[in-house]
Structure 1
Amino acid sequence: MPRRTGPLGLALLVIASTLALPVSSAAAATVPTGARSLESVNFPGRFVRHLDHLGRLDPVTSGSTAQAKQDATFTVVNGLASPACYSFQAANGQFLRHRDYRVHLEANAGTAQFRADATFCAVAGSVTGSVSLASFNLPDRRLRHRDYELWLDPYQDTAQFRADSSFRLTAPWTPKTTKGPVIPGLFADPHITNFNGRYYLYPTTDGYAGWASPYYKAFSSTDLVNWTDHGVILDHGPDVSWADNSAWAPAVVAKNGRYYLYFSGGAASGDTAKHLGVAVSDSPTGPFRDALGRPLIRAGTYSGQAIDPMVFTDDDGRSYLYWGNGTAYVVPLNADMTSFDPAKVRDITPTGYREASFVVKRNGTYYFMWSENDTRDEDYRVAYATGPSPLGPWTKRGVVLQKRLDLGIKGPGHHSVVKAPTGDTWHVAYHRFAVPAGNGTNREVTVDRLTFNADGTIAPIVPTP
C-alpha cells in the first residue's frame, strides 16, 4: 500500500516550497516553544503585538504599560496545521492568523482553514539568529511589517523585504506566572508514566474541529516542570493503514523490552466509527509502527466507542487492557501485548462512567478511575472506585477532581496517574479547557499532586492555575 502524505509530510512539502524561493539564505529554521516576544530586526525596540485584534509593530519598553507588554507576548506552540511549523497564541487564548492577507488575532475556530491560516513555517531571517515566518498555506508569502502593520506579503528578493520580514525571538515581556499548562499549546487526554526514572507524557493533539487530530507527540521530563518535546511518534496519515484521523487518548506501557502504544483512530471518509489499535517501538519516544496492520478492537465489536485505552500491569506481570466510552471494559492481555481472549472481556461499568478508564495499585488496593459527563461540559470531572483486584468488584468512592471557576478552570478530566520512582509521591496529569478562552476542543494539559488519606481514600485533587 502506498504511503499517504500526512500533515507532517505536507508540512515538509510546504517548507520545501519555501526553500525554493529565490534567496540562498532561506534555510529551514527552528523556533523554541513557550512564551516569547518577537522584535523587529530593522526596527529594534519595536515588537509584534496585537491591538484591537490587529497585528502591529509597536515600541515596547520596560516603562510600557502592563497591557502593552502582555499584548506583545505570545506562546509559541506546535503549528495548528502541522507540528513541523508554529502558531502564536496570545495571553487571551487567541491566535495570530492571516485573513485577506492582514494579520489578525482571532479565537481558534478549529477548522482546517483556521489552522492553516494560523500556522507559519520558520526559515532563516536576514541576520544571524533571526527568523522569517512563511505562511503554511500560502508559502510564497511571509509575515511582514508594512507601515507598522502586519501583513502577509509575497516574497521579494530584496534586502528591504528580508529585513521587514525578519524577527528576533526574545524573552517574553510578560513571563509566564502560572504552573499550567506544562506543555505549551493545545493538548488533551494526557497519559503520564515513568520509564527508567524519567517521566513521559503522551497527549492527544488538540485544537481540531471534531477532535480530528492526526498524530501523537511525546514529551519527557526529569522534574515534571521542564519538558522535552520529542516530536511526532505516530502519524495516522502515513503510519496507520486503517486510520487517517481521530488520533485520540494514547497510552504507552513497557513490556518484553519494548514499548506498546495503544490508541484510537478513525477514517477521514466521514465514517464516525472509532477503532482501537496498538503500535510498538524500541524506544519510549518512537517512532512507533502499527503492530497489527489492523485494529486490535474494531468499532462495533462491543457496545460504546472503542476509545480511551489504558494498560495496567500488576505485580505478577499480568497486563490488563481497559477501554470504553459509555461502557467500561477490561480484559487480560496475552503475553504478546497485542492480543487477548474475547471470552475474557468483562463489563465493569460503574455509575456515572463516561470514559477515560485508569487503574493504579497502592498498598494492595486497586483504584479504578474514570471521567464523568462530556469533555465539552465544564462539569467534566474525575471519579473513582476501589476494589480487591484489577477486575473488581468495584466500590465507588466519589468525585476527586472537578472544576474551579474562581480560577477559570473548567472541565478538568481525562486524567492519568504516576508514582515517583521512589517513595509514596504521586502526581496526576489531566486536561482542562485552555485558560482563559478554551472549550471542549481547545484544551491544555497540566499536572498536580495526588495524595491519599490515612484510610487509603484519595484526597480531593486541587486543580491549580
Structure 2
Amino acid sequence: MTVSRWAAGTAALVLACFDLVTTAAPAFAATLPTGARSLESVNYPGRYVRHAAALGRIDPVPSSAATQTKLDATFTIVNGLAAPSCYSFQTKDGRFLRHRDWRLRVDANTGDATFGADATFCAVDGSVAGSTSLTSYNYPNRRIRHRDFELWLDPYQDTATFRGDSSFRIAVPWAPKTNRNPVIPGLFADPHITVINGRYYLYPTTDGYANWRGTYYKAFSSADLVTWTDHGVVLDHGPDVSWADDSAWAPAVAAANGRYYLYFSGGAATGNTAKQLGVAVSDSPTGPFRDALGRPLIAAGQYSGQAIDPMVFTDDDGRSYLYWGQGAARVVPLNGDMTSFNPAQVRTITPSGYNEAPFVFKRGGIYYFMWSENDTRSEDYRVAYATGSSPLGPWTKRGVVLQKWLEAGIKGTGHHSVVRMPGTDTWYIAYHRFAVPAGNGTNREVAVDRMEFAADGTIRPIVPTL
C-alpha cells in the first residue's frame, strides 16, 4: 500500500462533535474531506471498509480486484443526515452506512430521525497520525470497529487493540467519481445559483428527510462550477428563526445595499404547520444570516396557495421583484430595504401547468419566467417557461425545456435556477433530480448543465447529464 492512497488531506483538528464518556477518548475531532473516498484499516493495511450482502466488513481490495468489489469499497462522504457537523457515508448505489443492533450495514435512507441518527458518525482522531475513528452520533461512547473483519458499533475501550481496530485512513476512492453531476456530494434540492463578485454561489435545501423536515441551509461556492467549497450552515431555523423550526425549504439570495438577503420558507414542527416566507440578512454571502424581521415577510394564509419558493429578480434599473408560491404564482416589487413591499402591488401571474418554483431572468431584452410542473415526488417533475416584455408580464408560454431522461436513469428534474457566466452569453441551469440511482422525492441531488438559446431567443431543450 503506497502513501498515495492515504488521505493526504485528512484535515486539521477542530472541536469534537461529542464528548465520549470514556475519559481516555480524544477531545478533538477530525474534519473529513467530502466526496468519494475509501476507508483503509490501520492495523490491516490493504483491507478496506466495504459492504457485502448489505453487511459492513473490511476486506482486501487489491488493484486487481473486481470492479464490483471496488465499488463496494467506495463511499461518498456527505453532510451528516442528523447533524451537519458530522458525516454520513453513501454507497455507489445510493444506500447509507448505518448501525442496526450494533451491526454495521447499508440501507436505503427512510428519512426518519432514527435512520438519520443511525447513519451519522462524528470523526475523532485515530490511533496513528492521519487516521480517523468514527463515533456514533446517537451513541457517542461507541465507535465503528472491526471484529473478525466484520464491522460493529462497540463501546470505546482504552486499549491499543481497540484503537487500532477502530481507526481508518481516508484514502483515494477505489471507484473515483467520473460523472459531472451531482455537483455537490450528498442529498440537496431546490438549488439557487447566483454570481457574487465573479464567484458562483449555490444555496440548496438540505434534503433526505421524510416530509422535507430539514431545519438549516448551507452555502457552497465555486470558481468554475466544478469544484465547490462547503461554507457550512448559514441559517438554522432552530436557534436563528423564532417563528419557524423546520421545513427549511428553497432559499434564494439577492445582493443589495452592500448586503445579502436570504429569502426562505419555514414552518413549525407542531401547532400551525402552514408554511410562511421569511427574509434574513448578512454582510457576507456565506453568512451567518440573521432573521431580518423577527416575523414572516409573508404569513401563511395571507394569499391563496402555499407561501413557499421565494425568488428575487433585480432588473437593470435596480428595482427588485419578489416571486413566490405553490399553486399560485405571485410577484410584487420590493421596497428599497429588500424586506418590505406594498401589498396593493401584489399581482397573480399563474401560467397553465404551474405548480411551484418560479424563477425570472432577463436576456437580450426578453424576460423569462420559468417554473416547475407536477409534484416533486413524481418522476415527471419538470421545468417549463414563458417569455414577456416586463418583470410583471404579460407572459407567453413556450413549453417544457427540462424533463426526465429515463435512458440515463434521470428522474424528477425540477426546481431550478439559472446563472450567466460573467462577461459572456454562456448560461447554466442548476436543478435537482432524484438521486441516481436510488433516489426519490425526498432523496434528491443537485445537478448543473448548460442552457442554450436559439436565434429567436427561445430556450433549446436541456439535456440532463450524469
Q: TM-score, normalised by structure 1?
A: 0.96
Amino acid at match of 1:89: Q
Q: Is the 8 A contact 1:409 1:435 kept in 2?
A: yes
Aligned to 1:8: none
Which runs of structure 2 are paired with 1:69-148 in the superposition (5 Å)?
69-148=70-149
Gaps of 5+ in 2: 1-13
Please give the alpha-carbon distance, in whole angstroms, between the structure 2 residues aligned to 1:340 and 1:15.
Answer: 42
Aligned to 1:5: none
Aligned to 2:273: 272
Q: Report the secondary structure of 2:30's partner residue.
A: coil
| 1:177 CA drift (Å) | 1.2
Q: Is the 8 A contact 1:366 1:386 kept in 2?
A: yes
Which runs of structure 2 are paired with 1:281-320 in the superposition (5 Å)?
281-320=282-321
Q: Report the secondary structure of 2:28's partner residue.
A: coil
Gaps of 5+ in 1: 1-11
Q: Report the secondary structure of 1:28's partner residue.
A: strand
Cα deviation code 1:88-118 (max 9, x no counterpart): 0000100000000000110000000000000
The 3 A distance-change label for structure 1 pair 135 and 270 is: farther
Amino acid at match of 2:309: D
Cα deviation code 1:27-70 (max 9, x no counterpart): 21110000000000000000000000000110000010001000
Please give the alpha-carbon distance, in whole angstroms, between the structure 1 residues aligned to 2:271 and 2:85.
Answer: 26
Q: Is the 8 A contact 2:19 2:27 kept in 1?
A: no
Q: Is the 8 A contact 1:26 1:125 kept in 2?
A: no
Amino acid at match of 1:431: H
Aligned to 1:165: 166
Q: Note if 1:247 corresponds to 2:248.
A: yes
The 3 A distance-change label for structure 1 pair 13 and 300 is: farther
Aligned to 1:6: none
Aligned to 2:210: 209
Please give the alpha-carbon distance, in whole angstroms, between the structure 2 residues aligned to 1:408 and 1:326.
Answer: 28
Q: Note if 1:362 corresponds to 2:356.
A: no
Q: Report the secondary structure of 1:277's partner residue.
A: strand
Please give the alpha-carbon distance, in whole angstroms, between the structure 2 residues aligned to 1:215 and 1:77.
Answer: 15
Percent sequence identity over aligned pairs: 76
Q: Note if 1:398 corresponds to 2:399.
A: yes
Cα deviation code 1:287-336 (max 9, x no counterpart): 00000000000011001110000000000000000000000000000000
Q: TM-score, normalised by structure 2?
A: 0.96
Q: Is the 8 A contact 1:364 1:388 kept in 2?
A: yes
Cα deviation code 1:229-252 (max 9, x no counterpart): 000000000000001000000000
Q: Is the 8 A contact 1:307 1:324 kept in 2?
A: yes
Amino acid at match of 1:52: A
Amino acid at match of 1:17: D
Cα deviation code 1:213-266 (max 9, x no counterpart): 000000000000000000000000000000100000000010000000000000
Please give the alpha-carbon distance, in whole angstroms, between the structure 2 residues aligned to 1:196 and 1:171.
Answer: 33
Which runs of structure 2 are paired with 1:26-105 in the superposition (5 Å)?
26-105=27-106
Aligned to 1:4: none
Q: Report the secondary structure of 2:164's partner residue.
A: helix
Aligned to 1:341: 342
Aligned to 2:378: 377
| 1:14 CA drift (Å) | 7.9
Q: Root-mean-square deviation (CA), in Å? A: 1.1
Please give the alpha-carbon distance, in whole angstroms, between the structure 1 residues aligned to 2:424 and 2:158.
Answer: 61
Q: Is the 8 A contact 2:127 2:163 kept in 1?
A: yes
Q: Report the secondary structure of 1:16's partner residue.
A: coil
The 3 A distance-change label for structure 1 pair 14 and 210 is: farther
Q: Is the 8 A contact 1:14 1:139 kept in 2?
A: no
Q: Report the secondary structure of 1:237's partner residue.
A: helix
Aligned to 2:461: 460
Please give the alpha-carbon distance, in whole angstroms, between the structure 1 residues aligned to 2:422 and 2:140.
Answer: 47
Aligned to 1:200: 201
| 1:272 CA drift (Å) | 2.7
Amino acid at match of 1:244: D
Please give the alpha-carbon distance, in whole angstroms, between the structure 2 residues aligned to 1:320 and 1:368.
Answer: 12
Cα deviation code 1:142-195 (max 9, x no counterpart): 000000000000011111111100000000000111111000000000000000
Please give the alpha-carbon distance, in whole angstroms, between the structure 2 residues aligned to 1:138 and 1:300.
Answer: 42
Aligned to 1:448: 449
Q: Is the 8 A contact 1:22 1:157 kept in 2?
A: no
| 1:26 CA drift (Å) | 4.1
Please give the alpha-carbon distance, in whole angstroms, between the structure 2 residues aligned to 1:292 and 1:25.
Answer: 42
Please give the alpha-carbon distance, in whole angstroms, between the structure 2 residues aligned to 1:32 and 1:412.
Answer: 28
Aligned to 2:8: none
Aligned to 1:259: 260
